[in-house]
Structure 1
Amino acid sequence: MIKVGDSLPEATFQLLTKEGASNPTTKDLFAGKKVVLFAVPGAFTPTCSEAHLPGFVVNADKIKANGVDSIICLSVNDSFVMKSWGEASNAEDIIMLADGGAAFTKAIGLEMDTGDFGGVRSQRYSMIVDDGVVTHLNVEQPKQFEASTADVILQQLG
């Protein structure tokens, strides 16, 4: 599993915005930037939609005021689902990033198998990444939502 001090592995993601589809890489998203990345097991799922994403939506301005260049929400979903979820959640200030094949999630060792529910998904976590290097990592225990919240990220940024 990735840990504080590690560099993020190179990966290619899927992103769908109003401007169209793209395939940004780890380098595109993180090089020379301070980024908050949080991952959820699935778009439109209860805890993800009712608590995790909304916490970052509400606190986006406060997070960015702490020198953060971008906030990324990652899930092992396709880019169409991530775009729709972002629109439904008023997440205009958050990059809704798809790791469709879970390549990045597996490369950092934070995948989980949810069986018939959805197959391989991401564990719930948040991290602060400075120029591609993890400076803070908050991985949730199964079925928990405490360590990876926007409030924890704000405390770590402060």
Structure 2
Amino acid sequence: MLKPTLSVGATLPDATLLTFGPEGPQEIQLRDRLQGRRVVLFAVPGAFTPTCDSAHLPSFIRTADALRAKGVDEIICLSVNDVHVMRYWGEVSGATAAGITMAADPAAEFTRAVGMDFSAPAAGMYDRSRRYAMLVEDGVVRILHIEEKRGVCEISGGETLLDAL
């Protein structure tokens, strides 16, 4: 596995992500979402995939209110999926109702820019994101938890990040 360029103290690059708004798909500029704010951003290898759907996303749904109580302005779930898949996953999982922003990085541009991309052809996954969670303050990574093993959510879950705040 390649060493990610993502690290504590790093300033995140700007990226155009997609989310589903009232009028349909809409672009969001990551820099604008991070400027002057405390944001939790966590990334999953794929919407509806086993660990992402049964452990990672649910951990942030459970901790969303507690994270906000600790001063987090926004919680963003990022995946290399299309915006429609992210919208539907947010709806059926309860993430949207919990106020989590479901953001698509459909061409993996942000994911590649921070060195968190991988492919696992045997699992049918190409150009996906590694699993991680971070606290970003004004665009700077302050806390970063990257899973070293695939298929587990041991250190990147909502409870672990909440404990680190």
TM-score for both structures, normalised by structure 1: 0.96
**What is the rounded CA distance, in whole Å, between the counterparts of 1:30 and 1:146 in structure 2?**
26
- Give the match's secondary structure for 1:23: strand
Q: What CA RMSD, in Å, does the superposition of the two structures yield over aligned residues?
A: 1.0
Matched-pair identity in %: 48
Q: What is the match of residue 142 of structure 2?
A: 135
Give 1:4-153 correspondences, 5 Å limit. 4-91=8-95, 92=97, 93-115=99-121, 117-143=124-150, 144-153=152-161
**What is the rounded CA distance, in whole Å, between the counterparts of 2:7 and 2:58 in structure 1?**
26
CA contact (8 A) 1:5 1:134 kept: yes
The runs of 5 or more residues in structure 1 that have no matched partner are: none
CA contact (8 A) 2:13 2:31 kept: no
CA contact (8 A) 1:76 1:121 kept: yes
Give 1:108's aligned amino acid.
V
Cα deviation digits, residues 66-121 of structure 1 (max 9, x gap): 00000000000000000000001011210000000000000000111122512110
CA contact (8 A) 1:76 1:99 kept: yes
1:18: Cα distance to partner?
3.5
Aligned residue pairs, count:
157
- Give the match's secondary structure for 2:8: coil
Give 1:96's aligned amino acid.
M
Cα deviation digits, residues 124-154 of structure 1 (max 9, x gap): 0000000000001100012232110111111
- Give the match's secondary structure for 2:160: helix
The runs of 5 or more residues in structure 2 that have no matched partner are: none
Whose strand fraction is larger, Structure 1's or Structure 2's?
A: 2
- Give the match's secondary structure for 1:155: helix
**What is the rounded CA distance, in whole Å, between the counterparts of 2:61 and 2:67 in structure 1?**
10
- Give the match's secondary structure for 2:84: helix
**What is the rounded CA distance, in whole Å, between the counterparts of 2:41 and 2:138 in structure 1?**
13
TM-score for both structures, normalised by structure 2: 0.92
- Does residue 3 in structure 1 map to residue 7 in structure 2? yes
* Higher alpha-carbon deviation: 24-33 or 132-141: 24-33
